[in-house]
Homo-oligomer: A and B are copies of this chain.
């Protein structure tokens, strides 16, 4: 993660309910605000993706340090929102799905706990408004390393 404490993004209105966001590091992306048209991810969707990648980065890094043999890894993030405006998130369910060779459940549980409680900046930001529930599944890889 970036180590600067102060960074600026610029988001340009591109017309027709579209925006182009420029991240502080200079990367641009289209953002959709008309979910019916669905031409790109919406702002609220970006929060789900940010949460998954942030905690995923912590978890895979910790599992590597613990010398776990992970062959595939994905994170599923589900968000529940308020029915009324503002339709903020109230709850996230984050499921870590780890495929590998004899991956330790204890190691996975500990990695998730460290990310959730100590390291993940996105989770710590979102937790102010929403509870975050974590779970995991370990799948034994069919082929040997």
**How far does the Cβ of A101 sit from chain B's closest Cβ, in whole Å?**
16
Contact A10 B86 (CB under 8 A): no
Contact B129 A125 (CB under 8 A): yes
Question: What is the interface size of chain A, counting residues whose CB is below 8 A from a CB of the partner?
Answer: 75
Given the complex, which residues of B lie within 8 Å of A81, measured CB to CB?
Answer: 5, 121
**A52 and B19 in contact, given A27-B40, A75-B10, A76-B9 (Cβ under 8 angstroms):** yes
Contact B129 A124 (CB under 8 A): yes
Residue in B49, B120, B128 whose beta carbon sits within 8 Å of that of A29 in the complex: B49
**How far does the Cβ of A109 sit from chain B's closest Cβ, in whole Å?**
18
State A41–B54 Cα separation when bound (angstroms).
Answer: 12
